[in-house]
Homo-oligomer: A and B are copies of this chain.
Amino acid sequence: MKIGEVANHSGLTPKTIRYYEDIGLLSAPRRSASGYRVYDQADQRRMVFLRHARQVGFSTDDCRPLLALYEDPKRRSTEVHALVADKLRVIEQQLSELQALHTVLQEMSAQCANDHSAQCAIIDSLANPLAVEMSK
């Protein structure tokens, strides 16, 4: 399989596959006589796995241990579980930060007259340290 074909079958792009090789997330495949990358089924499975892991929010760095566990027949499911638990915590943190932003913006929005006048509660809030600082 050349890179375009494995890209089609895995859902990654050739660009992404080369990039993963570059950062050492995928090992360098063997090359054809003309220098083309040649992949096999196992490579394709790894790529599918990586695509899914990225899709559910794991960074490429997160994917390293994840992929290692995928490849390891002697893994313990608790190790995988721990990685997912870590990720869940990070996502919960991000969620609460986003929710805080949302709340602040919504409160500002509600204070604004939303009319033709120049006076604007949103502008005032952003100009004044009062309302915004709490969100830290």
A positions within 8 Å CB-CB of B: 45, 48-49, 52-53, 55-57, 66, 69-70, 72-78, 80-81, 84-85, 87-88, 91-92, 94-95, 98-99, 101-102, 104-106, 108-109, 112-123, 125-127, 129, 132, 135-136
Contacts of A56 on B, CB cut-off 8 Å? Answer: 101, 104-105, 108, 126, 132, 135
| Structural contact, A91 and B98, CB atoms closer than 8 A | yes
Q: Which of B52, B77, B117, B132 contacts A120 (CB 8 A)?
A: B77
| Structural contact, B122 and A109, CB atoms closer than 8 A | no
Q: Which of B57, B81, B101, B126 contacts A114 (CB 8 A)?
A: B81
| Structural contact, B52 and A115, CB atoms closer than 8 A | no
